[in-house]
Amino acid sequence: MQWRCRDRLIDLSHPLVMGILNVTPDSFSDGGRYAGVEAALERAEQMVAEGAGILDVGGESTRPGSEPVSEALEIDRVVPVIEAIAARLDIVISIDSAKPAVMAAAVAAGAHIINDIRALRVPGAREVAAQTRAGVCLMHMQGDPATMQASPHYNDVTHEVIAFLRAQVAACSASGIAADAIAVDPGIGFGKKLEHSLALLRNLPDLVALGLPVLVGVSRKSVIGRILGRELHERLYGGLGLAALAVTFGARIIRSHDVGATVDAVRAVDAVLQGEGP
């Protein structure tokens, strides 16, 4: 399996890890630590050294209860960081944004992928993706970050999430986005109760059956805290367990804050599945 992202053709015959680089003051896990260009670049270099295959740069927190920021502020946060990474490192860069203007500015600065929690549904987003030929990751989210965890409801969460993603893939194709440029993400924890997220992970093979690259992000999320009774920075081992499960069930991209440990877990599971060593 391959994922076409502008001038890059990402080989997904082995799963890879997408390192999270939040350049915001208020992200749920590492808000403010990498808000400056130098700090962000240092962190980017560290994640690449640890084995990240993609760096996902975000300039707006999407944690439950978060409020949106302006396009101008988001661009000011992410563009200098993307430019610095592109100039220094040979790595695939993703922009984590739902705003078309931010997407366009980020791709112009050197990003290869648009990772959108709103699945390119904001007017103009699909057009930007088609024009730039960026790879796209379409995520499912019920509601908005500010209110998504208030009262999420599904009759059949797996069926509804897959139907939503299938519809968005069709809309992207109709807008001129190449089929091999599209990946999907079930959105663990985004407008889902614990039982919804667990069902999506358990039924991940149903999403993999769409034949598209599947991205899963569980790193440090509240789903782990609720299972284990762990605080935010005590969730590494639970996250590695869920990442290993996701890869076993067919996920090709694992989005994580803890790149080195996740790379080791993913490679170990992949070696068993592939029946081969290093």
Catalytic residue annotation: 221, 255
- Specify the DSSP element, H or E, that contains 136: strand 135-139
Find out whether 223 and 198 touch, Cβ atoms under 8 Å. Answer: yes
Q: Which two tokens stand for residue 1?
A: 């399996």
Find out whether 113 and 135 touch, Cβ atoms under 8 Å. Answer: yes
CA distances from 210 to 163, 171, 246, 273 (A): 10, 15, 15, 20
CA distances from 95 to 54, 114, 130, 175, 233 (A): 10, 5, 15, 20, 25
Collect all residues with Cβ–Cβ distance below 8 Å to 275 and sequence separation of at least 6.
none
Find where tokens 């991205």 sit.
Answer: 215
Query: What burial class does residue 31 get, using C-beta atoms within 10 Å of its C-beta: 0-12 exposed, 13-18 middle, 19+ buried?
Result: middle
Q: What is the DSSP string of 103-126?
A: HHHHHHHT--EEEETTTT-STTHH
The CA distance from 21 to 69, in Å, is: 17
